[in-house]
Amino acid sequence: MSEPRVFLLPDLGEGLTEAELVSWHVAVGDEIAVDQPIAEVETAKSAVEVPSPYAGIVTELHGQPGETLDVGKPLISVTPLSTGIAADDAAPAAASSAPPAAEAAAETYREEEKAGSGNVLIGYGTPGGHGVARRTRAPKAGTAVVEPAQTTEDDLTLLRTRVPGKLGAVISPLVRRMAREHGVDLGDISGSGDSGLIMRRDVEAALRTAPAEAPEAKPAETKPLETPATAALREARPANGVDARTGLAIAARTPVRGVRKAVAANMVRSRSEIPEATVWVDVDATALLELRGGFKANGTEVPGLLAFIARFVTAGLKKYPELNTRIETGEDGAQEIVSFDGINLGIAAQTDRGLVVPSVRAAEKLTARELDAEIRRLTDVARQGKATPTELGSGTFTLNNYGVFGVDGSAAIINHPEVAILGVGRIIDKPWVVNGELAVRKVTELTLTFDHRVCDGGTAAGFLRFVADAIENPTSLLADI
């Protein structure tokens, strides 16, 4: 009988090392096909469906819903329906001609392209569909060459993964290991494979140009795999215990993980690294509301208020580009302000999984209507947990509409590594002086939190006043709607 193939949790991209198992789509005993979704997992970025690279019968599920799994740990075991008897019978002969351990390790590096379908995340498959790989080895003298039959399935650890939105970082686990053991920074390598795939030859080329003294490889740190049983014990800590500090009964304990864990880590980093300052201003939004009302009366499809404000923000960032930058610190501690040729406008979105910030790419090129359509699309995919790492991690400035929660203002935390965030409060009726007379107007509060390293208060105030003036006199910037 064929040995089960163990599918390990694949590299889900963006440097993520773990994922929470949300649900299984299959059960033990089910017959599955190649690329069939087998589980939904939630990373610090989004929820994704993981497809199987193998076809066969499910023999074991390595984890329970709610459990956090490390990348590279077993996810599912599948027994192939048929694997070619000749290949199985040939295994002893192949083993007898195996090279020494050192040669075997080098041989392993040369096998990175062998995999199942190569389709790790739904919708991001390997070019060419279900490729077939063949293993070849140089025989010893007097030994017959044994070549296993071609197959569309292979060892999981050789699985090539494709990262949504970041094709240049698509590399096999073995190439990662080769680079790690030789001290090669994969971020500095341009891949020569399909869609920028980093291949073994690219790492070897980097090694040839590196200094002769390669850093000594350190043994990889490992931590014991948490079994479902130990996870259950950890999660099932008594909820009716008494807190030693307050003397109160503990009602519940909720693990911080997934998106919530990532948001918490990012906020802590922002507060600890960024010397932030905040400025705010009350704005008369009556003219903007009247303009939208006039469009609606004419039967015109009108963008949402946030799209109009986003249009004003992109115009303001063109005038005050210091707020559309990033601070980078080099290995020697020297800091640089990195400017961008374009604006990726992040839109803070509250979801069931926590606060996420998908970004509208090249937002400065879009009209208010186009911004409205993209904001709605991104908000929808973010709330479904389907936003890609690129959509969630490429922003250069964030717009936060917390007015939808019925609050007037907030000194928001900057979305690291950006340098500023603009908040918009609720729009309410307030007494306002117009042409020397008291009137009831629609008023909102704008709050800008900024990194004091990139600019001073004058620049921040200038940007904030620019956006406020555009809201109070919207026709000056909305010729293109």
Using one digit for the tens of pLDDT, what is the confidence trace for 179-225?
Answer: 777 777 776 777 776 556 677 777 778 887 765 444 454 454 544 55
Q: Which of 41-45, 395-399, 462-466 has the lowest mean pLDDT?
A: 41-45
pLDDT of amino acid 148: 39
- Measured N-to-C along each axis, helices 173-181 and 101-109 cross at an angle, to the nearest 10 degrees, of 120
**Nearest-angstrom CA–CA distance, 305 and 331:** 44
* Reported confidence tier of residue 17, pLDDT bands at 50, 70, 90: confident
Q: What is the reported pLDDT for 45? A: 61
Same domain for 290 and 200, yes or no, is: no
DSSP conformation class of 187: G
Q: Are 43 and 258 in contact (CB under 8 A)?
A: yes
Is residue 117 domain-resident? yes
Query: What's the whole-number mean pLDDT along residues 85-100?
Result: 41
Task: Give the residue among 443, 447, 385 at the shortest CA–CA distance from 414.
Answer: 447
pLDDT of residue 311: 96
Min mean pLDDT across 62-71, 102-111, 224-233, 299-308 is at 102-111
pLDDT, greater one: 70 or 232: 70
Mean pLDDT of 92-98: 41
* Highest mean pLDDT pick, 44-53, 162-171, 391-400: 391-400
- Any residues with CB less than 8 A from the CB of 223 and at least 6 apart, and which? 70
Q: Helix, strand, coil: what percent of the chain each, to 5? A: 30, 20, 45
- Bridge-partner residues for 70, per DSSP? 18
Q: Tell whether 432 is covered by a domain.
A: yes
Alpha-carbon 292 to chain mean position:
35
The mean pLDDT of 314-321, rounded to a whole number, is 97
Nearest to 181 by CA among 226, 218, 230: 218
100 exposure class (CB count in 10 Å sphere: 0-12, 13-18, 19+): exposed
Domain C-terminal end among 209, 244, 268: 209
Do residues 186 and 270 both lie within one domain?
Answer: no
Residues 393, 269 share a domain: yes
Q: What is the mean pLDDT of residues 427-440?
A: 96
In 141-298, which ranges are continuous DSSP H helix? 173-181, 200-209, 228-235, 258-273, 286-297
Peptide bond into 417 cis (omega under 30): yes
Domain end call among 209, 227, 243: 209
Whether 228 maps to a domain, the answer reads no
| 362 vs 344: CA distance, rounded Å | 5
Last residue of a domain, one of 142, 174, 209: 209
Q: Are residues 425 and 308 in the same domain?
A: yes
- Domain extent, residue 83, equals 5-209
233 is a domain residue? no
Report pTM.
0.59
- Tokens 């790989």 correspond to what residue? 133
What integer pLDDT is reported at residue 396 of this predicted model?
Answer: 97
* Secondary structure in 3-state letters for 427-478: CEEEEEEECCEEEEEEEEEEEEEEECCCCCHHHHHHHHHHHHHHHHCHHHCC
Considering the domain architecture, whether residues 108 and 201 belong to the same structural domain is answered as: yes
Same domain, 169 and 58: yes
Angstrom distance (rounded) from CA 314 to CA 268: 27
Residue 310 phi, psi (nearest 5): -60, -40
Asked whether residue 225 is domain-assigned, the answer is: no
Query: Measured between alpha carbons, how far is 267 from 217 in angstroms, rounded to an integer?
Result: 33
- Do residues 38 and 147 both lie within one domain? yes
- Report the alpha-carbon distance of residue 459 to residue 277 in Å, rounded: 12
Residue 235 lies in a domain: no
Whether residue 157 is predicted with pLDDT greater than 50 in this model: the reply is no
Pair 302, 159 in one domain:
no
- Residue 336's pLDDT band, with cuts at 50, 70 and 90, is very high
Q: What is the domain count for the chain?
A: 2
Average pLDDT of the residues of the chain:
77
**Contact indicator for 466, 320 with CB cutoff of 8 Å:** yes
User: Using one digit for the tens of pLDDT, what is the confidence trace for 356-387?
Assistant: 999 999 999 999 999 999 999 999 999 988 88
- Do 266 and 202 fall into the same domain? no
Amino acid at 52: S
Residue 268 lies in a domain: yes
Tell me: do 271 and 126 sit in the same domain.
no
CATH of the domain at 120: 2.40.50.100
Which residues are designated catalytic? 452
Element (H, E) at 381: helix 368-383
Q: Same structural domain for residues 203 and 282?
A: no
Say which CATH number the domain at 441 has.
3.30.559.10
Based on the fold, state whether residues 306 and 413 are members of the same structural domain: yes
pLDDT for res 278: 96
* Assigned domain for 327 exists: yes
pLDDT at 236: 47
Residue 261 to residue 18: CA distance in whole angstroms:
11
Residue 416 or residue 149, greater confidence: 416
